[in-house]
C-alpha cells in the first residue's frame, strides 16, 4: 500500500531560496506532490523561471532577502494573510561566504554577512512561522545545514560557523516545539552540483569530493527527495535531527 503521508494535499508549503539549486528542485517536487507552494528568493529572475514552470499566480511568488529581519516578518505575515496557513517551511537560502581563506585573513564584513544569511535568516523565519504552526497544532520546518557544520571544511570559517550554529538551533527548537505538533529538522548535504559551487575554489571542491566514498557530487533532485519527506506528514517521529545526504562522507 502506498502511504498518503508523503503527499501535501491541501497544504501550503513555503520554499525559501527557491530560485536555484536545491530549493528549486524541492519546490518542484513538493508542488508535484500536491502542495500549494509559495516560493521566495532574493533572485527575481530564478523565481520568475520557476513560477512559469509551476504556473504559479503572483501571490505565490515573493522576492525576499532573509538577512533583513523586518522583511522576513512582513513576508510571513503576507503569506498568512493571503493563504491562511503555513504547513511547512523549507529554507534553502544560503551563501558560501569566503572559501579557501585562512582564519587570520578573514574579511569581517563578509563573515558577518554569511552568518546573517545562513543563520539569522533561518532563525528569523522560524521565529515568525512558529506561532502560526502552533495555532494549527501542525508544522514541518526544514533548514538546509551542511556537512561543513558537522565536520568543518578548512578555509571556510564563516560557512562552517553558520551551519554548526544552525544545527544547534534546530536541536533546541525541536525540544521547545515537541508538544506543539511542530517538527523541525536540518539536512546536511556534502557537495551537490548547484550554482552555489560555481565560486568555490577548485582546491576546496577537490578536497570535498575526495572525502565522499561514493566519489561524486550529489544532484539537487536527490536532495529534493529527502527534503520532501522531511517537510511531509510522513516525517512524524524525528525532530531536532540533522539528516545526512553526503554520499557516505558522514555516517553519523
Ligand atoms: N550545493 C552544495 O554543495 C551544498 C552543500 C551543503 C549545504 N548546502 C546548502 O543548501 C542550501 C541551498 O544551496 P544550493 O546549492 O541550492 O545553492 P544555490 O546558490 O543554488 O541556491 C541558494 C539560493 O539561495 C538564495 N539566496 C542567497 N542569499 C539569499 C538571501 N539573503 N535571501 C534570500 N535568498 C537568498 C540564492 O539566490 C539562491 O537561489 C544552502 O543553504 C547551502 O548552504 C549546499
pLDDT digits (tens, 9 = 90+) for 193-249: 998 887 777 887 888 899 999 999 999 999 999 999 999 999 999 999 999 999 999
Class of domain 4-243: alpha beta
pLDDT digits (tens, 9 = 90+) for 13-38: 999 999 999 999 999 999 999 999 99
State the Cα–Cα distance between residues 175 and 156, nearest whole angstrom. 30
Is 166 close to ligand 1, i.e. is its CB under 6 Å away? no
Q: What pLDDT score was predicted for residue 232?
A: 98
How many CB atoms within 10 Å of residue 159?
Answer: 25
Which residues are known to be catalytic?
159
For ligand 1, pick from 38, 68, 94 the residue to mutate: most ligand atoms within 8 Å of CB.
94
Task: Cell numbers for 40, please give them.
Answer: 521566495
Where along the chain do its domains lie?
Answer: 4-243
Output the average pLDDT for the chain: 96
% of the chain exceeding 70 in pLDDT: 100
pTM reported for the whole predicted model: 0.98
Q: What pLDDT score was predicted for residue 207?
A: 81
How many CB atoms within 10 Å of residue 179?
Answer: 9
Q: What pLDDT score was predicted for residue 227?
A: 99
Closest ligand 1 atom to Cα of 22: 16
Question: What burial class does residue 222 get, using C-beta atoms within 10 Å of its C-beta: 0-12 exposed, 13-18 middle, 19+ buried?
Answer: middle
Q: What pLDDT score was predicted for residue 200?
A: 74
CB 114 within 8 A of CB 95: yes
Is 72 close to ligand 1, i.e. is its CB under 6 Å away? no
Handedness of CA 223, 51, 11, 2 (dihedral sign): negative
* Radius of gyration, alpha carbons of the chain: 17
* 14 alpha-carbon distance from chain centroid: 11
Residue minimizing CA distance to atom 41 of ligand 1:
94
Q: Is the predicted pLDDT of residue 140 greater than 80, yes or no?
A: yes
Residue minimizing CA distance to atom 37 of ligand 1:
43
Is 22 close to ligand 1, i.e. is its CB under 6 Å away? yes
Is 61 close to ligand 1, i.e. is its CB under 6 Å away? no
pLDDT digits (tens, 9 = 90+) for 163-184: 999 999 999 999 999 999 999 9
Is 227 close to ligand 1, i.e. is its CB under 6 Å away? no
Amino acid at each position: 500500500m502506498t502511504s498518503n503521508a508523503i503527499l501535501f494535499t491541501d497544504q501550503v508549503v513555503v520554499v525559501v531560496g527557491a530560485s536555484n539549486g536545491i530549493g528549486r528542485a524541492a519546490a518542484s517536487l513538493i508542488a508535484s506532490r500536491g502542495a500549494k507552494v509559495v516560493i521566495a528568493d532574493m533572485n527575481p529572475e530564478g523565481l520568475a523561471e520557476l513560477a512559469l514552470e509551476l504556473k504559479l499566480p503572483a501571490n505565490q511568488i515573493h522576492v525576499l532577502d532573509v538577512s533583513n529581519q523586518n522583511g522576513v516578518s512582513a513576508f510571513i505575515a503576507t503569506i498568512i494573510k493571503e493563504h491562511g496557513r503555513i504547513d511547512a517551511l523549507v529554507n534553502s537560502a544560503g551563501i558560501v561566504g569566503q572559501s579557501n581563506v585562512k582564519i587570520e585573513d578573514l574579511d569581517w564584513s563578509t563573515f558577518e554577512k554569511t552568518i546573517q544569511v545562513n543563520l539569522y535568516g533561518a532563525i528569523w523565519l522560524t521565529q515568525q512561522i512558529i506561532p502560526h504552526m502552533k495555532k494549527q497544532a501542525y508544522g514541518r520546518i526544514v533548514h538546509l545545514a551542511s556537512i561543513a557544520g558537522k565536520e568543518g571544511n578548512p578555509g571556510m570559517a564563516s560557512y562552517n560557523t553558520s551551519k554548526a550554529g544552525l544545527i544547534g538551533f534546530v536541536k533546541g527548537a525541536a525540544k521547545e516545539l515537541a508538544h506543539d505538533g511542530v517538527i523541525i529538522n536540518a539536512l546536511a548535504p556534502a557537495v551537490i552540483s548547484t550554482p552555489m559551487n560555481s565560486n568555490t575554489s577548485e582546491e576546496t571542491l577537490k578536497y570535498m569530493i575526495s572525502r565522499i566514498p561514493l566519489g561524486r557530487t550529489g544532484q539537487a533532485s536527490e536532495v529534493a527527495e529527502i527534503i520532501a519527506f522531511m517537510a511531509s506528514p510522513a516525517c512524524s517521529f524525528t525532530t531536532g535531527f540533522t539528516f545526512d545526504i553526503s554520499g557516505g562522507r558522514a555516517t553519523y
